[in-house]
Amino acid sequence: MANMSLNKVAMPEQDPNIRNKNFEEVALGYGIEQAIEEATRCLQCKHKPCVGGCPVNVPIPEFIKQVAEGNLEEAYQIITSENSLPAICGRVCPQESQCEGVCVRGIKGEAVGIGRLERFVADYHIQNVETVVPEIQKNGIKVAVVGAGPAGLSCAGDLAKRGYDVTIFEALHDLGGVLIYGIPEFRLPKKLVATEVDNIAKMGVTINKNVVVGRSITIEELFEEDYKAVFVGSGAGLPKFLGIEGENLNGVYSANEFLTRVNLMKAYNQDQSPTPIRVGDNVAVVGGGNVAMDAARTALRLGAKEVSIVYRRSEDELPARREEVHHAKEEGVVFRLLNNPIKVIGNEAGWVTGMECVKMELGEPDASGRRSPIEMPNSNYILDVNTVIMAIGQSPNPLIRQTTPGLDVR
Amino acid sequence: MYKILKKEALNQTVELIEVEAPFVAKKCEPGQFIILRVNEVGERVPLTIADYDREKGSVTIIYQVVGYSTKLLSEMKVGDFINDFVGPLGQPANLKKHNRVLGIGGGVGAAPLYPQLRKLKEMGTQVDVVLGGRSAEYVILGKEFEDICDNVYYATNDGSLGITGFVTDVLNSQLEKGVEYDEVIAIGPLIMMKAVVNITKPINLPTAVSLNPIMIDGTGMCGGCRVTVGGKTRFACVDGPDFDGFEVDFDECMRRQGMYKEEEKDHACRIGL
Ligand SMILES: Cc1cc2nc3c(=O)[nH]c(=O)nc-3n(C[C@H](O)[C@H](O)[C@H](O)COP(=O)(O)OP(=O)(O)OC[C@H]3O[C@@H](n4cnc5c(N)ncnc54)[C@H](O)[C@@H]3O)c2cc1C
Ligand code: FES
């Protein structure tokens, strides 16, 4: 008989007032007993809605069954039959809108903690089991993968398992894409990313860092070098700005720049990193997604006294994972919802001194059913800030499109 | 890892190294740059490509020892390895065959200017150059320019080489003499490029400048290198580094360049400069 508790087994976390001053991981993960207890909440539904909700079709009930029985390595093997990056996905996938969003237990009470269990299984494996690479029958076919983000790494791992001769080309000096430059240490320890990358390398994938495809070598040239297929996983790395006055003042960052300095270049540890970062006492982060939450929480940890999220819609529309919003609030991030920046204000020397905002209200639903925000007349005010971080989204880097004739992009 | 094949001091603070980097050497063009990290915890340092040898698979860069990372680089010897070296980055300079072009190189700016002028010369353009610096020892690559240019002029603040004054004094006197240039390519400190444009813009003499704002990734991912050109925000690492000098907001560039002055001072202290 399944465990009918309506709530997930709680996952231990660092205290909000301690963790908002350090870069250690916030969520500490289940122990064996907690994991088994949570696993017994799974009803082992025959129609497996969770698998349909998972973008890579992990056999979820099957792995959870193994956890419930204490067979953790079996559980790991089941997960990795479909997912090369379980320690990462268990931590950062938006489960509430994927597998857990369609979990039958979620109809009344909380869904099964699928992400937490996946994380537990992967961590247990990393800590206790030496990964052995199964004998792979090579087929001798060369495939190139552009970009070592989660997409490229997964693709490389899956193809290597099937015997392809895979080479990854990555522009940066480190592997992981957003996992390494964007998502902060306190949410996804970089050591884990390195371990997952190692596991992929162990399968015989060749990794070339510091190669910008489109510049160092083009896709056409890859085909000339006898690659039979090229997978482009170059991500959506081009930061957007609002296009408002004052955005190029000193002290305005894109979230990518801010997070890259802190994560990839390790500026959070100024004793060891020569890359500088500067965060003022009062910080505004514009946007409401995961990136905005990460930037806001990072700014707090770097010593900012007040950090606000400035978002033009309301709480219900915040695109971030729910857990991140919850964590950010706990840590003391101020949410200025239904507020829209219209101008960044600076001093003579070109440094930010404030941001003019206008208050918004939600109008009638538009064609897509979303209620779009409209400005409230005469509601302008100046937010007293000296750092502004723009986290309003990214678009694909145009480099490959520009340097690959005949590439059809929609 | 990228091996240092050759190293040379060009003056007290400027050094040249040739690095084995086949991916870069195969494709780079004048105007493009690389980013290197000296060691596994290093900063990403953008440096313009000063020369390249496609056969040998090597790239030459010239840098001024100004702060933490260039000091580290300066401590490396021939045969040592640089941890990371990525490129070519940025757009190749838009070089066209003209009748006559004037290059203006201030300080280390002469290094990125060199491959551009050489290419113009190869295309059959008559090429003059003005090299400037505080004093004779700050003027680099004089001999190399003399080999490829039709006329080489020098300007130093103390008069130890060429005229006493600025590169813009030479520019003015050339223009007064009635020398007709189709284009000016000015590479050097922002203040120098701004001064050049202040002369060339009123007479509508096209002027290309090369910007080197603060960069991190150099692939268009962070926006830290943004500059305003023609009223629009551009990313110097992917849209540049060369831009139409008439359109560049130099004052904004100068403000942004100074963003980490204090932190850099800190670094200097730490390495005991
Ligand atoms: C701060 C932040 C937090 C996020 N949090 C979450 C979260 O909690 N949950 C979630 O589901 N999603 C989250 N996302 C989104 C998620 O990270 C992305 O959907 C995911 O990283 C996309 O993976 P990717 O492999 O396609 O691209 P990326 O991770 O962007 O990787 C692309 C890689 O390709 C390289 N590259 C680019 N161009 C070239 C080229 N021309 N040649 C060679 N290499 C190239 C890049 O350097 C990079 O390493 C977050 C994003 C950010 C920025
Ligand atoms: S250096 Fe990051 S976008 Fe140009």
Beta strands in A41-175 (DSSP E): 142-146, 165-169
- The burial class, CB within 10 Å (0-12 / 13-18 / 19+), for A49 is middle
Task: Using the structure block, give the residue that is written with the tokens 């150059």.
Answer: B129
Of B89, B119, B138, the last residue of a domain is B89
pLDDT band at A321 (very low <50, low <70, confident <90, very high): confident
Looking at residue B267, what is its pLDDT? Answer: 43
- The burial class, CB within 10 Å (0-12 / 13-18 / 19+), for A225 is exposed
Residue A180 identity: I
DSSP3 helix / strand / coil % (chain B, rounded to 5): 30, 30, 35
* Residue B269 in this model has a pLDDT that exceeds 60: no
Of B89, B121, B137, the last residue of a domain is B89
Q: Evaluate: CB of A354 within 6 angstroms of ligand 1.
A: no
pLDDT tens across B104-152, in order? 999 889 999 999 999 999 999 999 999 999 988 889 888 999 999 999 9
pLDDT tens across A145-201, in order? 999 999 999 999 999 999 999 999 999 999 999 999 999 999 999 999 999 999 999
- The verdict on B233 and B223 lying in the same domain is yes
pLDDT band at B270 (very low <50, low <70, confident <90, very high): very low
How many beta carbons lie within 10 A of that of residue A217, not counting itself?
Answer: 21
* Residue A269 in this model has a pLDDT that exceeds 90: no
Buried b (16+ CB within 10 A) or exposed e, A357-383: bbbbebeeeeeeeebebeeeeeeeeeb
Q: How many CA atoms lie within 13 A of A169 on its CB side?
A: 24
* Residue B22 in this model has a pLDDT that exceeds 80: yes
Average pLDDT score over residue span B60-64: 92
- Short-list A232, A155, A238, CA closest to A200: A155
pLDDT band at B263 (very low <50, low <70, confident <90, very high): low
What distance in Å separates the CA atoms of residue B89 and residue B33, rounded to the nearest whole number? 5
* Residue A29 in this model has a pLDDT that exceeds 60: yes
Looking at residue B66, what is its pLDDT? Answer: 83
- Short-list A38, A40, A41, A19, CA closest to A30: A38
Map residue A47 onto helix, strand or coil: coil
CB-closest option in A253, A274, A278 to B43: A274
Q: Give the number of A-B residue pairs with CB atoms closer than 8 Å.
A: 112
Q: B84 CA to chain A: closest CA distance, Å?
A: 6
pLDDT tens across B196-228, in order? 999 999 999 999 999 989 899 999 999 999 999
pTM: 0.92
- The verdict on B35 and B140 lying in the same domain is no
Range of the domain at B142: 93-210
- The verdict on B190 and B203 lying in the same domain is yes
- Short-list A187, A162, A176, CA closest to A29: A187
Q: What does the block give as tokens for A239?
A: 């930061």
Q: Of ligand 2's atoms, which has the minimum distance to the CA of residue B222?
A: 2
Q: What does the block give as tokens for A235?
A: 């991500």
Q: Torsion-angle region of residue A332: left (phi > 0), alpha (psi -120 to 50) or beta?
A: left
Residue with CA at minimum distance from ligand 2 atom 2: B222
- The verdict on B72 and B144 lying in the same domain is no
CATH number, domain with residue B160: 3.40.50.80
Task: Using the structure block, give the residue that is written with the tokens 């392809």.
Answer: A164
CB-closest option in B89, B216, B267 to A265: B216
Regarding predicted confidence, which is higher, A397 or A163? Answer: A163
- The verdict on B80 and B112 lying in the same domain is no
* Residue B266 in this model has a pLDDT that exceeds 70: no
The helix-helix angle for B190-200 and B167-176 (nearest 10°) equals: 10
Enumerate the residues of chain A whose CB falls inside 8 A of the CB of residue B89: 212, 215
Enumerate the residues of chain B whose CB falls inside 8 A of the CB of residue A247: 233
What distance in Å separates the CA atoms of residue A263 and residue A284, rounded to the nearest whole number? 19
Is B221–A250 a contact, with Cβ atoms under 8 angstroms apart?
Answer: no
- The verdict on B230 and B126 lying in the same domain is no
pLDDT tens across B131-144, in order? 999 988 889 888 99
- The verdict on B261 and B194 lying in the same domain is no
pLDDT tens across A323-367, in order? 899 999 999 999 999 999 999 999 988 999 999 999 999 988 877
- Short-list A138, A108, A271, CA closest to A205: A138
Q: How many CA atoms lie within 13 A of A112 on its CB side?
A: 33
Of B168, B190, B210, the last residue of a domain is B210
pLDDT band at A372 (very low <50, low <70, confident <90, very high): confident
- Short-list B254, B253, B262, CA closest to A277: B262
- The burial class, CB within 10 Å (0-12 / 13-18 / 19+), for B264 is middle
Looking at residue B262, what is its pLDDT? Answer: 65
Number of domains in chain B: 3
What distance in Å separates the CA atoms of residue A72 and residue A86, rounded to the nearest whole number? 13
- The verdict on B203 and B100 lying in the same domain is yes
